[in-house]
Amino acid sequence: MSTSRHMIALLKSHLEGDDQEFLSVAMQAAAHEARLGHGAIAQQLRDLIDEAKRRSAAVQNRPGQLVVLEPRGDLANVLSVQTPSIRLADMALPDVLAERLQRVLLEQRQQQRLREHGLQPRRKLLFIGPPGSGKTMTASALSGELHTPLFTIMLEGLITKFMGETAAKLRLVFEAIRQTRGVYLFDEFDALGAHRNQSNDVGEIRRVLNSFLQLLEKDTSDSLIVAATNHPEMLDRALFRRFDDVIEYHLPDAPLAEEILRRKLALFETGDLDWPRLVGETEGLSHAELARASEEASKDAVLAGSTRITSEALSSALRERKAASR
């Protein structure tokens, strides 16, 4: 290979974020220089390659430090990365749900021990439930608890008109899941199957969903894979079996709704509030909507130059949310 060819191959592997390929091309370039009798240049290249290998090994082995590389190349518009700092304790969850999530965390944290005994930690989760019930937030909290990055798969970037391309990108995503440990969130995951009705190539979309399921089944990585959906009815029941855990979210019941409102209003005076009446007005509202209503009532108080929340303000904010969610 000529020097320019090496250069092209180097840049390509750099753009694709393929470090292994990058170093292998650099090695070839060093060998090429040696063959031309350019001993000093060849040695300089080998020294630099050794240095690069030492550094990347150091980065991978550094304990407790999170090194997150922005997805590059074909994955740039498919994966987005975050390092959330929220915890499960920041969420108001019914006890059963909190316990199931704690179980996932325990198995994740002890995965080495489990694997030594030939056991697999829970790592493929399906979250189902109404919008605003905390599914996306839970994925962030799991990532925060485990100190691993949260990679969100952007379905708009993944699903293209060309099904062959979509399937190829999906394979790349699972390649990343294998290579970089993290929480991988397929949010609003039903979109993978949702185009089924409007599309003229139903068969192709089925194939994409099927290839997702096959990739999911085959995956034996250390990453945590979370799929979340507001529309479980759009998914085949057969699909549920591919997950280690199916976790159902519900709208908050009255006691949880009260807890959510109280937590959200903790910095204000709420002594005057008619709780029994207000709690009766929370029915059918999601966690997100309750949070929003508390914020509206808080803003009313602040703008009125007060720290006191009134029942009227909160009640009207709740009714407004109810009207908006219809």
Ligand X SMILES: Nc1ncnc2c1ncn2[C@@H]1O[C@H](COP(=O)(O)OP(=O)(O)O)[C@@H](O)[C@H]1O
Residues near ligand X (CB under 6 A)? 91-93, 131-137, 287-288, 291
Between 52 and 291, name the residue whose CB sits nearer to Mg ion: 291
Sheet holding 124-128, edge to edge: 79-82, 150-153, 183-186, 224-229, 124-128, 245-248
Smallest gap, in angstroms, from Cβ of residue 275 to ligand X? 19
By the 8 A CB rule, do 265 and 235 touch? Answer: no
* Contact call for residue 133 and Mg ion (CB under 5 A): no
Between 152 and 315, name the residue whose CB sits nearer to Mg ion: 152
Binding piece for Mg ion, criterion CB under 5 A, among 23-31, 102-110, 129-137, 316-324:
129-137
For residue 291, the partner it binds in ligand X, Mg ion, none, with Cβ less than 5 to 8 A by kind, is ligand X
Report the residue from 136, 143, 221, 270 that binds Mg ion according to the rule CB under 5 A: 136
Between 121 and 132, name the residue whose CB sits nearer to Mg ion: 132
Interface map 80-99 toward Mg ion (x if CB under 5 A): --------------------
- Between CA 145 and CA 1 the distance in angstroms is 48
* Contact call for residue 229 and Mg ion (CB under 5 A): no
Which structure tokens are listed for 33? 């220089």
Cβ neighbours of residue 235 closer than 8 Å, sequence gap 6 or more? 190, 193, 229
Size of the site for Mg ion (CB under 5 A): 2
Question: Burial letters for 249-277: b for 16+ Cβ neighbours within 10 Å, e otherwise?
Answer: bebbeeebbbebbeebbeebebeebeeee
First to last CA, the chain: 66
Task: Count CA within 13 A, CB hemisphere, residue 143.
Answer: 25
Between 121 and 144, name the residue whose CB sits nearer to ligand X: 144
* Contact call for residue 138 and Mg ion (CB under 5 A): no
Between 9 and 185, name the residue whose CB sits nearer to ligand X: 185
SS3 call for 61: helix
Q: Which residues bind Mg ion (CB under 5 A)?
A: 135-136
